[in-house]
Amino acid sequence: MRQLPQTLGHLEQAVATLLAQARSAGTVRPEVQLPEVMALLISVTQGALHGGWPPGLQSRTLAVLFAGLRP
């Protein structure tokens, strides 16, 4: 079983690759950096888990987050 830090490292690498591709495609603002994206993903995930957010709230929250990343 993988340790959490190792798993988070793999997630961070995958998100970094996706972020670079999105910036290159012009679908994410060029000033958006990996640390901010990771902080947002972790915060939203923890909020949804600990807050027991219903699916509708989860979807709307992600829609707002994604809209903020677009140019």
pLDDT at 71 over 60: yes
Structure tokens at 34: 């990996």
Give the position of tokens 């947002």. Answer: 40
Contact 42, 67 (CB under 8 A): no
The pTM for the full model equals 0.81
pLDDT at 1 over 60: no
Structure tokens at 42: 């972790």
Q: For residue 5, what pLDDT is reported?
A: 81
Query: pLDDT tens digit string along 19-69?
Result: 999 999 999 999 999 999 999 999 999 999 999 999 999 999 999 999 999
The residue count for the chain: 71
pLDDT at 3 over 90: no
Domain count for the chain, please give it.
1
Write out the residue range of the structural domain in which residue 61 sits: 4-69
